[in-house]
Amino acid sequence: MDRDRAAPRRPRRACDDPRDRPPFRPERRRHACAGRLRRRSGHVSLTFRDVACVRGGRLLFSGVSFDLGPGDAAIVIGPNGVGKSSLIRIAAGLLAPFEGNVACDTPQALLTEASALDADRKLAAALCFWAALDNAPAPDTRIAHALSALDLDALADIPVRLLSTGQRRRAAIARVAASGAPVWLLDEPANGLDTVSVARLETLIAEHRATGGIALVATHLSLAIPAAREIAL
């Protein structure tokens, strides 16, 4: 072999930079959490059974029950302060139900008001960091699709801190879309989006459901999510 000739290298991909990967963390054994049901691994579902929520000593809702399977969606509606965001937090395991049970064995991706993206990283690098944390399969492909679907391609090399409010919201949605999680928990996903971006969000949700994913969406804005179950609080 001619050592004077360098071997060809494959093109560098967005997630190849070690700085964009999270630090190694030893795998921790999962434990059942209070108020949550156990399901067989690999079963894509989200189940609430007679769930009640109390915040600050005030009962927000009670008796909430539903079952979502592959391809299903549900929209949580109701006036401000009724507990829509709390229901999403309960589904994510961040808030224990006051009563009832929730199934918790399906990987989830959560969207809240915060983008959860490192403000100092370039957008693509910030998404790569989260894709690595989520163990997303084919992260480069997923990130490229998410950026394209949300019209963020031209901003891939822009630091997150320089994005506008609407762009940051789309970037946060891209993080969820690139996660590879079967269940999306979306809290007011249309906030800060214009009409075109809302349509892009609706398309992403439809694509996710078409591949067997589940979407639980809390919103006070109108979203076109065909055949979605309505959960009124």
The whole-angstrom separation of Cα 161 and Cα 155 is 12
Which single residue is written with the structure tokens 């630091």? 159
At 137 the pLDDT is: 85
Question: Would residue 24 count as lying in a domain?
Answer: no
Same domain, 93 and 67: yes
Residue 23 C-beta-side C-alpha neighbours within 13 Å: 1
At 67 the pLDDT is: 96
At 17 the pLDDT is: 59
Q: Which domain holds residue 146?
A: 108-225
Q: How far apart are the first and last CA of the chain?
A: 71
| 66 token code pair | 């539903």
Q: How many CB atoms lie within 10 A of CB 25?
A: 7
Same domain, 99 and 117: no
Question: Would residue 4 count as lying in a domain?
Answer: no
Same domain, 87 and 156: no
At 222 the pLDDT is: 92
Phi and psi at 179, nearest 5°, equal -70, -30
Same domain, 122 and 204: yes
**Which regions of the chain are under pLDDT 50?**
1-12, 23-41
Same domain, 125 and 193: yes
Per residue in 45-71, pLDDT (tens digit) is 999 999 999 999 999 999 999 999 999
Tell me the C-alpha to C-alpha distance, in Å, between residue 182 and each of 32, 176, 195, 232: 20, 10, 26, 24
- CATH number of the domain bearing residue 133: 3.40.50.300
- State the total domains in the chain: 2
Residue 53 C-beta-side C-alpha neighbours within 13 Å: 23
Same domain, 96 and 159: no
Which of 121, 157, 125, 117 is CA-nearest to residue 143? 125
DSSP letter at 7?
Answer: P
- Predicted TM-score (pTM) of the model is 0.83
Tell me the C-alpha to C-alpha distance, in Å, between residue 13 and each of 94, 100, 140, 144, 191: 34, 46, 7, 11, 32
At 41 the pLDDT is: 46
Q: Which amino acid is at 123?
A: L
At 16 the pLDDT is: 59
Same domain, 170 and 93: no
At 217 the pLDDT is: 98
Question: Would residue 19 count as lying in a domain?
Answer: no
